[in-house]
Amino acid sequence: MANKNRPLEEVEKLLKDIGEKIDELIEKGKKVSGEAGDEIDKKINDLKNNQWDLERDLQEMKARFGQRFDEEKKNMEPKLKKSGQHLKAALFQLNEAIKSLFEK
């Protein structure tokens, strides 16, 4: 189960790292003035917008994945229940076979 969410956790960590790098650039950009400072501010704003777009896309993907997972789980539940019944019957038969072996 832990591996199921690992890719999502890695993407979220990457987005967090990007946000931290943007914050570092903002601090460095405050020290620069003039035309270079304006260009840096523009680039930082572009990066922020891209980060927000990525975060929004990630949330949408998580929601779609959750919906699909729920649908597949719902479709599999009857099959799993039937398989469980078959397994229970097989274990009962195995138990009966072992009993009959030891009784003889």
Count CA atoms closer than 13 A to 58's CA, side-chain side: 17
| Domain ranges (residues) in the chain | 6-75
Measured between alpha carbons, how far is 97 from 7 in angstroms, rounded to an integer? Answer: 46
Give me the average pLDDT of each 10-residue run along the chain (104 residues): 68 83 78 74 82 86 89 90 92 90 79
* pTM over 0.75, yes/no: no
